[in-house]
């Protein structure tokens, strides 16, 4: 198939984007919710802090009793109670009285300020306060952080440590989040074997197994791996099992464009092929289909092509399924040498960034994994460009920024 017959990347992405996504959610323990996306608006069940509490270790007093006093002219108090963390004082504090108080404990009735220990001098129950306090000083007031009934988190947020903290403070120990999609990866190919130092004639190590598993993990989704040889019926059986067990299917291999190839044939028979062949390099033999409303992404058997296809066509889909607000954001760099390309084709050239410059890794062959290992970014050459000149600025997508 020639370039003119291939689908543009833009059109392919539009087709994939239009596939209805099944959003599922589940309730999980708050302690397991880091890096998950919240699927509900959450209101606080209580005020936080739940009572006026001391923000310091020190003494609860009436601020008025310190007015006009200072380091050289201290005010005198009588210590009438001492409370440590988790305790309450029953004292109703009067003028000239002080209650020793720990950080986080409730302010006793009658007190309206806390003087830090640093500004006091105590001897038995006699206390000198060497400063002037304003009412409210060193008190965290009830509801200051969160008020009961207040919205604390909105649906759709990727949960960070502080978001879990506010959920907890709002009284919740469970949280409703979007489910992680289960992604069944089927590597295909009679020739593929596990890593070994002793290959037999014609055997190739199945490196896609490892790449695809970790690529799926980098999207916070759950990979399930299987392997199938190039056999129509076995592939059909495998796809049936995978459809039952997962939300998304990814295959590698068997997507040749020029002739019938097992994977695309079987998917077409069981469902509908919406894309077959995209004007991208590497990655031209990409296919996409739907079986029983589930998306089937068919990647090339070539390791580098498969990685590029994953990053271009699958990554954002898996993010969307979890409602993660994610976009690949290219940065601008200067090309250290000329990068040829062809009008009408999108190129993902591997690059290595050095300051403001990017060095294209001109290693030929889409099977050459070394180009991915030695690089830290894709240089994206859009369809309307015939290449990038030396010294010209170009769009660069850093691998590090692809994951969540």
The residues in 253-292 that bind its own copies, with binding defined as CB under 8 A, are 253, 256, 258-259
CB 107, CB 60: distance < 8 Å: yes
d(C-alpha 223, C-alpha 245), whole Å: 11
φ, ψ of residue 14 to 5 degrees: the values are: -65, -45
Least Cβ distance, residue 195 to its own copies (angstroms): 4
Angstrom distance (rounded) from CA 5 to CA 342? 15
Q: Which is nearer to its own copies, 145 or 265 (CB)?
A: 145
Return the residue of 202, 233, 329, 384 that touches its own copies, per CB under 8 A. Answer: 202
Q: Cβ of residue 14: shortest distance to its own copies, in angstroms?
A: 26
Q: Of 128 and 145, which has the nearer Cβ to its own copies?
A: 145
* 369 scored as a contact of its own copies (CB under 8 A): yes
The interface with its own copies within residues 146-165 (CB under 8 A) comprises: 146, 152-153, 160-165
The 10 Å CB-count burial string (b at 16+, else e) for 263-301 is bbbbbeebbebbbbbbbbbbbbbbbbbbbeebbbbbbbb
**CB of residue 66 vs its own copies: minimum separation in angstroms?**
18
**Contact (CB, 8 A) for 66 and 115:** yes
Residues 303-342 that bind its own copies (CB under 8 A): 303, 307
Nearer to its own copies, 209 or 243 (CB): 209
Given 14, 269, 370, 389, the residue binding its own copies (CB under 8 A): 370
Shortest CB 201 distance to its own copies, Å: 5
Under DSSP, is residue 151 helix (H, G, I), strand (E, B) or coil? strand
For the chain, first and last CA: distance in Å? 36
| Beta carbons of 176 and 155 less than 8 angstroms apart | no
Residue 10 in contact with its own copies, rule: CB under 8 A: no
Residue found under tokens 């999980």? 28
Compute how many residues bind its own copies; rule: CB under 8 A.
93
* Angle in degrees, CA 390, 393, 396, rounded to 5: 110
| Rounded least distance, CB 18 to its own copies, Å | 28
User: Is-contact 199 189, C-beta < 8 A?
Assistant: no
Judged by CB under 8 A, the stretch of 51-59, 273-281, 291-299, 315-323 that binds its own copies is: 51-59
What's the count of helices (H) and strands (E) in the chain, helices before strands?
Answer: 8, 28
Query: For its own copies, which stretch binds (CB under 8 A), given 98-106, 243-251, 319-327, 381-389?
Result: 98-106
Is residue 252 at the binding interface for its own copies, with CB under 8 A as the rule?
Answer: no
Among 70, 92, 95, 214, binds its own copies (CB under 8 A): 214
Cα within 13 Å of Cα(244), Cβ side:
5
> Interface with its own copies by CB under 8 A: which range of 168-176, 314-322, 331-339, 388-396?
168-176
């Amino acid at each position: 198939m020639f370039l003119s017959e291939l689908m543009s990347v833009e059109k392919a992405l539009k087709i994939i984007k239009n596939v209805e996504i099944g959003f599922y959610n589940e309730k999980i323990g708050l302690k397991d919710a880091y890096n998950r996306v919240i699927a509900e608006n959450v209101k606080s069940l209580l005020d936080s802090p739940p009572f006026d509490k001391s923000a310091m270790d020190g003494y609860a007093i009436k601020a008025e009793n310190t007015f006009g006093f200072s380091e050289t002219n201290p005010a005198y108090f009588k210590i009438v109670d001492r409370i440590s963390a988790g305790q309450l004082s029953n004292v109703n504090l009067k003028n000239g009285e002080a209650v020793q108080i720990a950080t986080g404990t409730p302010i006793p009735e009658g007190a309206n300020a806390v003087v830090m220990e640093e500004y006091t001098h105590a001897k038995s129950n006699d206390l000198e306060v060497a400063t002037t306090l304003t009412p409210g000083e060193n008190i965290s007031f009830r509801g200051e952080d969160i008020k009961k009934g207040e919205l604390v988190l909105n649906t759709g947020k990727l949960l960070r440590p502080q978001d879990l903290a506010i959920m907890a403070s709002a009284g919740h120990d469970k949280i409703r989040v979007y489910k992680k999609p289960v992604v069944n990866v089927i590597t295909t190919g009679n020739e593929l074997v596990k890593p070994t130092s002793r290959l037999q004639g014609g055997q190739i190590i199945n490196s896609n197994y490892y790449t695809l598993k970790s690529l799926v993990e980098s999207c916070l989704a759950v990979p399930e791996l299987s392997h199938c040889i190039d056999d129509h019926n076995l592939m059909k059986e495998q796809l049936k099992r995978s459809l039952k067990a997962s939300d998304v299917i990814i295959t590698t291999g068997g997507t040749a464009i020029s002739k019938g190839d097992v994977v695309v044939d079987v998917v077409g028979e069981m469902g509908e092929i919406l894309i077959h062949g995209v004007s991208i390099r590497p990655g031209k033999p990409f296919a996409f289909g739907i079986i029983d409303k589930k998306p089937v992404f068919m990647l090339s058997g070539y390791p580098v092509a498969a990685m590029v296809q994953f990053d271009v066509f699958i990554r954002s889909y898996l993010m969307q399924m979890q409602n993660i607000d994610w976009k690949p954001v290219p940065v601008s760099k200067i090309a250290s040498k000329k990068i040829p390309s062809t009008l009408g084709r999108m190129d993902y050239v591997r690059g290595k960034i050095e300051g403001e410059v990017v060095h294209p890794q001109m290693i030929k062959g889409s099977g050459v994994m070394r180009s991915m290992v030695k690089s830290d970014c894709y240089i994206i050459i859009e369809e309307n460009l015939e290449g990038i000149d030396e010294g010209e600025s170009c769009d660069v997508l850093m691998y590090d920024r692809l994951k969540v």
